[in-house]
Structure 1
């Protein structure tokens, strides 16, 4: 196992195991060899990297194209500050057209303290970390530091393409400020791994904002990234051990022309506040050959935190798996809110998808708990293998709990090209504007054994209820005439107790209702219209008193699915 893979994995394991506040442990998919990974982390990123004796600092003062060096290990000539030995260097001042270069074969680290530097280069990267065992860049408390390159480079040796460019393991820390203006391409880029412990960092870049090719690990800090390409990126395509992004905490504002956060393999976020606008936001569209997703991890995405995502592409995307462990999500997307080719798992959290083509899409969708509100122009929950068949494709939508409100204007709120299973939770499906789209659509079976299911249908064509093999009873109701949008639907039992008061957002002629309170042999009364003093949540009232409605008829539960026309 490589040191870099171990660094990232053990970092995430520590955070995930010890910050878990729920009864269900949050464990990454790859949790093998945990102790080896912890040991490797200790060998890679050391606590001593971030502490030092101030008496060891070598003070460097820059002035235009020259400067002074107090101590050995560094020289300055013709605007170039060369650091050629391991040690701690405290730098202040300005280079108007120059560069800081770190290049040493020493086996100890180089620590560079920015204590108010402003470096501008018209030729290449203002900061070039060429060769070292490791480099720690420290932002001195209260300091303001600026790196700015030019729109064209005359020196692109070693692939320099960023204002802050590194070819070695690099860490950034400190309570100071760093502004990076990448006018040529990237803002901050490492061809190795990049760790950011903290800092107040602003990046403006033509291409990618912050890039760690092998991995990008962020422990905390405040970030404002404006990039023409991807905002945060890790893109090693040749080694499956690399290409990771791991974020423990921090405050992020990311505005990107490409993806907001993009990893070749895994994105693992265990905390933080994120405001991401990608590709111009959900009012824009991008060509199929481009990518402007909010968060993308091709192998997997695992999330916990607070997210506001406004994307011209998928809000959250993986080619394999997306896991939501907790957090708050506000998503507006021109494509899918959350998409994975294979699996989406929602453990718990508050997910509000206010705009999407399809809300959540994967072959296997599992919702264990949480509060979900999804507004989409097509399907809200879509379990599909992606082959566009009308046959059972093996997809499964599983709902074990949660409060789920679905509003699909021109699609199916609940859709599985395979089967559906509901064992708990509350699911409210506001049907589409017109047939042949329906509130519930499945090609296999839909077995319900617990929870509440409510769905309104605009027509009777292809109108489906749960399967007759279900353990919990359901009502499949068809009215003889259409009910106007927002006309209340009310059911009470033979003792006058309210079972349900539902307010569909669109006109409806059909209702599907399933509840443990629907008991075989019991008679119930249906009313429409009227008002309720209860609290409305996603179309379902809780508490309060229903009054003023018109009784439409009664029904008696006779089987797992009782079909009624009134």
Structure 2
């Protein structure tokens, strides 16, 4: 039966209805519950979902359509029939395989083990209710036109990478090919296993599915002229090791016709990406709940149009124009590091207005930090929201701009802090502080230093509350923690030079609370 990834906690009775709603012509050897972050080694059941997905991620995923995955326990490798590739042709004893010149077509549901080399195309054109599994076991397919592996029709298709195998898929360089990827599926597509897969397309995408694309295992390397991995309805990575070099977006989901689709979810595995455009580009939501994600991008590190959640894992944006951007950004867990030439974390998108020339009104965007560790190194604004910034927990360190036309903190609708620890070090010209009414105390100081300078904050008794080493030139420090009490006096010391400040009072020359917007 076709499995649905249920990325949120459904009541078991409802989940059972979802899971028994469809079937395929291939018969699996064993039945199991739906999986979240499934791998070839072990599948998790619906009962595991609450523990597997942090609440902040589950709440967003609950509003999206379920993704589709073919788990390895739904088919048996022992049932596989062979397809042997040989230069410009192939041989197979399977009745569901047709060979015409250099085109090999799978026409029926089943499990097929593919080995050898083909200068041509491997096509799946099976019935609409068929489950087709392609076990790549030392397979190399190089196309002269279009996709090297093209799925024309089926219900679900799985590509399994056999243990110990190395497989190579190379698409044609034609930029106007109908099937615009080296691996292209007009169906749901799952990639699993423990083997290796290298995908290259010098004119198009690497791996693309017009429905759901799920990566649950394997060591996968993608080098693509355009997008690396694209699942139009959804892109889900829950296992495996993925390396991407893409001229366009590294990870993409771009369904515009359904607000519950077009999302990207990293729930496990390791992803290392270099992108000429965005690292992640989601038409609706982008969610990271576990997994290691590292990206160097020429545009946004992570971008979504609706909601962007980081609730776990280890996320590093080593290069970007804007590091993290969405209309609603929620940092709830994990460790996130962002380096950007413009804004580090930018809540924007509800309005084309904003900015110093376009007005300073609150247009409804939200940046919410409730947990995790966030480190930002930005040449533009460090934390920026065209609406509000709210912090209730977590640890945030911002090394902001050196120029006075941006600030380490920037909001149109104000900054409120009720928990966690925040230090924002940057220029002074546009420095902003939290609201005077913020439940948690904060302090601001106009103090100067350079890269390598030590910033130390002490209370009235001389006890050290916190200490930081600056990474660049600065002229302003804003700090908030549970140890700061409004109205009390504290000392901010930079390389031995002490400045006395009163908590809850904006530094001279700064923007104060209430926001000023960018």
TM over 0.5: yes
The corresponding residue for 2:352 is none
2:338 to 331, 335, 352: 331
Instruction: Quote the Cα distance in structure 2 between the aligned partners of 1:233 and 1:339.
Output: 19
Q: Normalising to structure 2: TM-score of the pair?
A: 0.75
Instruction: Quote the Cα distance in structure 2 between the aligned partners of 1:66 and 1:146.
Output: 17
Cα drift, residue 14 of structure 1: 7.9
Q: Mark the CA change 1:5 to 1:510 in structure 2 (over 3 Å): closer, same or farther.
A: closer
1:296 to 287, 296, 303: 303
The corresponding residue for 1:397 is 415
The corresponding residue for 2:378 is 355
Instruction: Quote the Cα distance in structure 2 between the aligned partners of 1:562 and 1:171.
Output: 54
Cα drift, residue 54 of structure 1: 3.3
Cα drift, residue 69 of structure 1: 0.3
Q: Secondary structure at the match of 2:239?
A: coil
Q: Mark the CA change 1:145 to 1:186 in structure 2 (over 3 Å): closer, same or farther.
A: same
Q: Does 1:267 align with 2:286?
A: yes
Q: Mark the CA change 1:102 to 1:316 in structure 2 (over 3 Å): closer, same or farther.
A: same
1:239 to 258, 276, 280: 258
Q: Mark the CA change 1:348 to 1:89 in structure 2 (over 3 Å): closer, same or farther.
A: same
Q: Over aligned residues, Cα RMSD in angstroms? A: 4.0
- Mapped contact 1:134–1:170 kept (Cα < 8 A): yes
Of structures 1 and 2, the larger Rg is shown by: 1
Q: Secondary structure at the match of 1:336?
A: coil
Instruction: Quote the Cα distance in structure 2 between the aligned partners of 1:277 and 1:127.
Output: 28
Q: Which ranges of structure 1 fall in alignment gaps of 5 or more residues?
A: 280-291, 385-394, 422-445, 459-481, 532-548
Q: Does 1:82 align with 2:105?
A: yes
The corresponding residue for 1:283 is none
The corresponding residue for 1:92 is 115
Q: Normalising to structure 1: TM-score of the pair?
A: 0.69
Q: Does 1:381 align with 2:400?
A: no
- Mapped contact 2:323–2:340 kept (Cα < 8 A): yes
Q: Mark the CA change 1:410 to 1:64 in structure 2 (over 3 Å): closer, same or farther.
A: farther
- Mapped contact 2:443–2:478 kept (Cα < 8 A): no
Cα drift, residue 253 of structure 1: 1.0
Cα drift, residue 161 of structure 1: 0.9
- Mapped contact 2:220–2:243 kept (Cα < 8 A): yes
Q: Does 1:57 align with 2:80?
A: yes
Q: Does 1:317 align with 2:339?
A: no
Cα drift, residue 243 of structure 1: 0.6
Cα drift, residue 502 of structure 1: 7.9
Q: Mark the CA change 1:306 to 1:254 in structure 2 (over 3 Å): closer, same or farther.
A: same
Instruction: Quote the Cα distance in structure 1 between the aligned partners of 2:115 and 2:477.
Output: 73
1:455 to 445, 451, 456: 445
The corresponding residue for 1:17 is 50
Cα drift, residue 297 of structure 1: 1.1
After superposition, give the CA deviation of every residue in 1:267-290 in whole Å (9 maximum; x if it has no partner). 1111111110001xxxxxxxxxxx
Q: Does 1:409 align with 2:427?
A: yes
The corresponding residue for 1:196 is 215
After superposition, give the CA deviation of every residue in 1:501-528 in whole Å (9 maximum; x if it has no partner). 98997798999999978798x9x89898
Cα drift, residue 25 of structure 1: 6.4
Instruction: Quote the Cα distance in structure 1 between the aligned partners of 2:478 and 2:77.
Output: 73
- Mapped contact 1:182–1:206 kept (Cα < 8 A): yes
Cα drift, residue 354 of structure 1: 2.0
Q: Secondary structure at the match of 1:238?
A: coil
Q: Does 1:181 align with 2:181?
A: no
Residue pairs, 1:406-445, within 5 angstroms: 406-409=424-427, 411-415=429-433, 420-421=434-435
- Mapped contact 1:17–1:25 kept (Cα < 8 A): no
Q: Does 1:138 align with 2:157?
A: no
Cα drift, residue 73 of structure 1: 0.5
Cα drift, residue 307 of structure 1: 1.4
- Mapped contact 2:343–2:381 kept (Cα < 8 A): yes
Q: Mark the CA change 1:504 to 1:306 in structure 2 (over 3 Å): closer, same or farther.
A: closer
Q: Mark the CA change 1:76 to 1:361 in structure 2 (over 3 Å): closer, same or farther.
A: same
